[in-house]
Structures are given as structure tokens and as C-alpha cells.
Structure 1
Amino acid sequence: MTPRLGTLDLVPALDRLDLLAAPVAAALSAPGATAESAWVCEIDPGLADTAAFSQAYAVPLEASANCVVVLGKRAGEERAAACVVRADTRADVNGAVRRRLDVRKLSFAPMDWATETTAMEYGGITPVGAPEPWPILVDERAAALEWALIGSGVRRSKLVVPGPLLAALPGAEVAAIAL
């Protein structure tokens, strides 16, 4: 059954791989992936940012999830992670996430670094297809969503997946990481 979120016209993600960044399409097409429960919709790329998107497409913030890339160092070793939180919350970067990565300082990754490393567009970065061996830290409220609207790797579309699928991604860990 096709999920209903706002005014979005969702289609099975595997039917529209052209609407996904290459690593996202590869992750959903991989053996063992649960792509049959992944949906995609084309959107106006100028409305990809969460607040504008939510208003334009009548999707409540609590049904959307944001993915942020963080970067820290410990003993000269860079440590990156993808953090997934509901759009009506924000990642506890300086608390829970910093402790999980065991770094003294943690910050949002520079845009150029994040887009190059993920092979995804800024504003569309998603945990689906995130680089290995990054941990994917999924806030427990995002993992509990019936349907989570997230980035697709590009700004011109959005991906919709069950919250439990986020928790089942390779490298995913569910934890209380949101404020």
C-alpha cells in the first residue's frame, strides 16, 4: 500500500532510480535491501529545505527526518557519522553524539567535504547509502516513525521509508541523540 504524506505523489523508489543519488540507488538495489518499502517523489528543488518543503507539500515536521553529517578527531583520526533526527528536533551534537564518537570536539562537516564524501547533494544527504564504515546514529523517535520522509541524495526528490528501515541500515545504531 502506498503511504500518504501531505500532497506528495509517491512511487516505488526502484521504479524511479533517476530520482536518487547513485549511492542511494545502489543501496536500495543491493541484495537483501528492503527497497520494496521505499518510495520516492519528485519535488521542486528550491523547496528541498525542511521548513519550506513542509509548508509547500503539507507534510508535518514530525513526519520528516533530517540527516546531518558530523566530523570530529581523536588522536589525529577523523571520525564521521550520519545523524538522523526527526525534523521537529535537533541532533545533540555536543552531548550524545560527541560521546558516542568519543571525540573532544565535534562539528557539522563542511559542506564541500560532506557532499564529496557522500556523493550526494547538499540539502539531500541521506543515511541510505552513507559511506561505510560511518556509524549511522538514528534517534529513537525517527526510528519509531511509521513513515519517515528523508533526503534522497539529491535536492529534486524525497525518499519515504518506514522508520524501522532507518534502524536496520548497515552501520545503524538507535539511540537518544536528539534534543
Structure 2
Amino acid sequence: MTLDWVPATERSDLLADPVARAVGEIDGVRVAEIDPELADTAAFCERYGVPLDASANCVVVAAKRGGETRYAACMVLATTRADVNGVVRRHLDARKASFAPMAQAVELTGMEYGGITPVGLPDDWPILVDTAVAEHPEVIIGSGVRRSKLALSGAALASLKSAYVMSLAN
């Protein structure tokens, strides 16, 4: 990898506000500055030499049942697709589950689209962590902004207070 990693607590300027407030509660989180034009997974991995199976994506899901909408985050490796309409919908006990609209995801998280991360999400949001992510020694994830990435262990993600480890693949 061609990134300059530093402890995330030392560079809060590279984090969205909710991420900066939460990152100190997680052991071993590092941050690296990147070109914001290369924040999307494929471009990021190619430019910075990060294998796709070491990069994890955070997908915001809107789950609906009985006129109520609840939100959750799903963490999957970049090589995996989350089964939103099956596994995720059933876990959230929803009639319908879909990707949250971009503007809504940005507003609710306080993070930039393309940088949304489970670190610093609202406390009442479940964070569904795919087993492959939880077992990974180190994954690269968003930092809440497009101009940086976080690195941490899958175990650290699995230890977030509202995390549930499960197989999310379809």
C-alpha cells in the first residue's frame, strides 16, 4: 500500500465530525489522506495498491415496516454484495429494505457520500458486519469524508456497540 497512515486521533481534520468524536473509543484506528477524486472503491484500490478484499464498504439501508423507517449500516468486503432484500431485510424485521437515498444518508449520518463509515453512526442504528469483514486482520473503510480512509481490524468493527456479525452475502 502506498498510504501514509497515522493514528486517527492525531488527524481529526481528516475525519467527519461524528467520526472524530467516536474514533478515540476504538483501539488501533489509523487514517491516511487520499485524493478525494479517488474515494470510490475501485479507483482507490487501483491507485493506492489496496486489494479489493482488504477494502470494506459501508452501505446505508432503509428498512420499512408499518409506515416506520429504520436505518442500518452493512459492512461488506468490496468483493461481496450484501443481500439487502433477503438477509438484511429479515434481520431488521422489515417488509421492505433498500439502499437509503444519497441525500438522506448524508443528512442522517453527518458524513459525505462515498465516505460513510460505521464509526460515529447514530447509536440506535444496527451495524451489520459481514463475517468476512469481522475476521479480516485489517480493513480499509471510509472516514466520513472523501479525502481520507481509515484502517482498523475487522475485530474492532465487530466490537462496535451496535454491531452484529453475520453472513450478509447473497
Q: State the TM bucket, normalised to the shorter chain.
A: over 0.9
CA distance in structure 2 between the partners assigned to 1:19 and 1:73 by the alignment:
34
Give the aligned partner of residue 21 of structure 1.
16
Instruction: State yes or no: 1:97 paired with 2:92.
Output: no
1:63 deviation in Å? 0.4
TM-score, scaled to structure 2: 0.98
Instruction: State yes or no: 1:120 paired with 2:111.
Output: yes
Residue of structure 2 aligned with 1:141, choices 120, 123, 132: 132
TM-score, scaled to structure 1: 0.93
CA distance in structure 2 between the partners assigned to 1:52 and 1:146 by the alignment:
22
The within-5 A match list for 1:1-179 is 6-29=1-24, 33-35=25-27, 37-179=28-170
Q: Where has structure 1 moved over 3 Å in runs of 4 or more?
A: none
Q: Deviations over 1:41-80 (max 9, x none)?
A: 0000000000000000000000010000000211111111
Q: Which amino acid aligns with 2:75?
A: V
1:178 deviation in Å? 2.0
For residue 117 of structure 1, give the secondary structure of its aligned residue in structure 2: helix
Aligned residues: 170
Gaps of 5+ in 1: 1-5
CA distance in structure 2 between the partners assigned to 1:111 and 1:19 by the alignment:
21
Instruction: Quote the RMSD (CA, aligned, Å).
Output: 0.8
